[in-house]
Chains A and B, each alone.
Chain A
């Protein structure tokens, strides 16, 4: 479904991603891990054709990612870094607008909005509130609703769990697991290993411009022998020697 070949992205002279190769098939929930600023969001923005790549190519369903037509775009759902919420509108109006962009039938759209709100939001009046009044967590939930409302085949989520309380994060985990099907692909970039562990089938680790690990969750945790965080720390090797030098703490 997604095939990335020799992908390189530079900002000026600074190389962010260098010759990455990656193939993700349908039925997988691929979780991309890595330190801050390593290029996870850049990779997502490249996949979504929001930024221009310098070299290589990205194909979705065998088509160049920058040659997708309107029908192809409708098969993709995404939560991007800035959430893409239109804060002047209420949650309901925003989802209605999103549905109209997808040209969804109004009755189906309204039912889905009602279902999603009932599942993710405690207070029914939240639907009528302006998004500018929403908390960070509420905004994230709304962005997630906008990403799944048209049931896309490829769902791309940039940090979907950050800013969510444990209850809602678990609700989202359950939703993602229910959403996953053999003909769908979910791509997640996240730091929240607790939730990643609950949804991932495949793990990729991005570090130092390259994909330094790309395999199944079981390979990553060595058949469950190692916790996800310790497996990640073993790969990324955090700097602990410098801490000893700080004697004033």
Chain B
């Protein structure tokens, strides 16, 4: 069965080559893996030969291995959280062992692992020293990092028996022991490289056995009384979690900035460009409200069926925005005012970007609706075009800090906002079918 599944996946992969874009994309990836493999080996060889005296070859190898481990685990949450794929539903009549093996094999049968493995092999081929060590540890770390990622998934995506937490405690204990005695274990690197992935593989299987059921991530079942707008946000995990994550990331960055400014007198990102993306309410829009109808398609459908006026939908959208934007104002303004001491700039920048983002979001939600099928999805929660344009617009607005004449941008942004609002209302009758076509195909 596993063999058949692998063949089917490979067949599907090659069928994808009918699209010329996919061929180009894979050629680019192939070239990148090859180029980086060569570059890494070249640098390491030079470091070994004493040509590069600023870094040691060990440092470069450890850096590459750490990078492989880091990226393999982090891709679980960047750009969005991607839940663990279930190859077969739980009611299929196969054993847990078979299901687990199939799931692991299917995980590794992806382009990502192919290109990382290719990087390791090309590096191994071109390295002059530590060839085999790098090959073994490279593959070992790639496998181990992914198996660790799977362990996280079990705790996030599934309801587990209490026994699973015993495994968690044991694994944490082993990990701590290894970290504390890292020098001892490095002496036996070749054995550790083989044993760690095997151990993680079996821990994963034991966790698989503890799965009770999937966690329901679609809707919470809170039926508490309260404002229905609040319930629309709180009871929808698809919207709530990204909003919480986005606002927490923002708070984290602003707090770090504040600490850095107070201790070193410098702002994070030097207080330039990217900084202002976090200082504006951009995250609320790129995460959710540039695609409002994707998150609440039935609100749109009810308004379309019963009123048909986009102005009514916009009014509702504004009410829905009130709570997240209030939180954003409360998080952002006090910190910015405290760390910049330039009230005029901060207030004008924040509120102009706010008006601009709100008004343009009505256009994005209409012209670029995206179906939201899970809490976090790889393709993102709003369109690339809307995210790109709003990011550039917010960054551009931050130039008013540089020179007073640039304050001329503020009326321009306000006029653009008004135009966007009018455009959304005027375009609605003709473009509303985009929403049905994109969101109602289920």
Question: B183 in the interface, Cβ–Cβ < 8 Å?
Answer: no
**B residues near A50, Cβ cutoff 8 Å:** 301, 304-305, 433, 436, 440
Contact assessment for A89 and B305 in the assembled complex, using a CB-CB cutoff below 8 Å: no
B219 within 8 A of A: yes
> Do residues A98 and B429 form an inter-chain contact, with CB atoms below 8 A?
no
Contact B222 A89 (CB under 8 A): no
Query: How far is the CB of A110 from the nearest CB of chain B, in Å?
Result: 15
What residues of B have a CB within 8 angstroms of the CB of A133 in the complex? 221, 223
- Quick check: B232 and A86 within 8 Å, CB to CB? yes
B111 interface contact, C-beta 8 A: no
Give CA–CA (A85, B302) in the complex, Å.
Answer: 8
CA distance A74 to B309 in the complex (A): 12
State how many angstroms separate the Cβ of A153 from the closest Cβ of chain B.
Answer: 14
Give A96's nearest chain B residue, CB to CB.
B228
| Interface status of B261 (Cβ within 8 A of chain A) | no
Residue from A48, A52, A86 within 8 A of B298 (CB atoms): A86
User: B441 CB to closest chain A CB, in angstroms?
Assistant: 10
Give the complex CA separation of A45 and B303 in angstroms: 15
Complex Cα gap A97–B219 (Å): 19
Q: Does A22 contact B (CB under 8 A)?
A: no
> Is A180 located at the chain interface by the 8 A CB criterion?
no
- Residues in A whose Cβ lies below 8 Å from that of B303: 101
Given A45-B436, A50-B436, A101-B303: A90 in contact with B309 (beta carbons within 8 A): no
Closest A-chain residue to B219, C-beta based?
Answer: A132
Out of A48, A76, A101, A128, name the residue touching B302 (CB < 8 Å): A101
Contact B231 A88 (CB under 8 A): yes
Residues of B within 8 A of A76 (CB): 305
**Nearest residue, chain B, Cβ from A79:** B305
For the complex, what is the distance from the CA of A97 to the CA of B442, rounded to whole Å?
24
Is B433 a contact partner of A51 (Cβ separation < 8 A)? yes
Does B43 make an interface contact (CB < 8 A)? no
Pairwise interchain contact B299-A129, C-beta atoms closer than 8 A? no
Smallest CB separation, A141 vs chain B (Å): 17
- Least CB distance from B186 to A in Å reads 52
Q: B-facing mask of A83-127, CB < 8 A → 1, else 0?
A: 011111110010011100110000000000000000000000000
Q: Does B128 contact A (CB under 8 A)?
A: no
Residue of B nearest to A87 (CB): B219
B306, A101: Cβ atoms under 8 Å? yes
For B296-318 the 0/1 string (1 means CB < 8 A from A) is 10110111111111001000000
> How far does the alpha carbon of A69 sit from the alpha carbon of B436 in the complex, in Å?
19
Given contacts A51-B437, A130-B221, contact A102 B232 (CB under 8 A): no
Q: With A50-B436, A88-B236, A93-B231 in contact, do A98 and B298 touch (Cβ < 8 Å)?
A: no
Q: B232: nearest residue on chain A (CB-CB)?
A: A88
In the complex, whether B383 has a CB less than 8 A from a CB of chain A is no
Q: In whole angstroms, what is the CA distance A76 to B307 when docked?
A: 10
Q: Is A80 part of the binding interface, using a Cβ–Cβ cutoff of 8 Å? A: yes
When the two chains form their complex, are residues A78 and B219 in contact, meaning their CB atoms are under 8 A apart?
no
By beta carbon, the residue of chain A nearest B301 is A84
How many residues does chain A have at the interface if contact means C-beta atoms less than 8 Å apart?
36
For the complex, what is the distance from the CA of A89 to the CA of B296, rounded to whole Å?
12
Q: Is A14 an interface residue (CB 8 A)?
A: no
| Cα distance, A80 to B433, chains bound together (Å) | 16
Closest residue on chain A to residue B236 by CB atoms: A88
Q: Does B235 contact A (CB under 8 A)?
A: yes
- Asked if A73 and B305 sit within 8 Å, CB to CB, the answer is yes
Contact residues in B for A84 (Cβ distance below 8 Å): 298, 301-302, 305
Q: Judging by beta carbons under 8 Å apart, are B302 and A97 in contact?
A: yes
A52 near B433 with CB under 8 A, answer yes
A102–B309 Cα gap in the complex (Å)?
A: 12
Inter-chain contacts of A69 with B (CB < 8 A): 308
Complex formed: what's the CA distance from A102 to B222 in Å? 27
In contact, A130 and B223 (Cβ under 8 angstroms): yes
Residue A243 at the B interface, CB < 8 A? no
Structural contact, A130 and B305, CB atoms closer than 8 A: no
Q: Mark A53-90, 1 if CB is under 8 A from B, else 0.
A: 00000000000001011100110101011101111111
Interface, chain B (partner A; CB < 8 A) = 218-219, 221-223, 228, 231-232, 234-236, 296, 298-299, 301-309, 312, 429, 433, 436-437, 440, 442
Name 12 interchain pairs, CB-CB below 8 A, sorted by A: A51-B433, A70-B308, A73-B307, A74-B307, A80-B305, A84-B298, A86-B298, A87-B219, A101-B302, A129-B223, A130-B219, A132-B221
A: residues with CB less than 8 A from B are 45, 48-52, 66, 68-70, 73-74, 76, 78, 80-82, 84-90, 93, 96-98, 101-102, 128-130, 132-133, 146
Given contacts A82-B440, A89-B232, A101-B306, 16 further A-B contacts (CB under 8 A): A48-B305, A51-B433, A74-B307, A81-B440, A82-B301, A86-B232, A87-B235, A88-B231, A89-B231, A97-B302, A128-B223, A130-B219, A130-B223, A130-B235, A132-B235, A133-B223
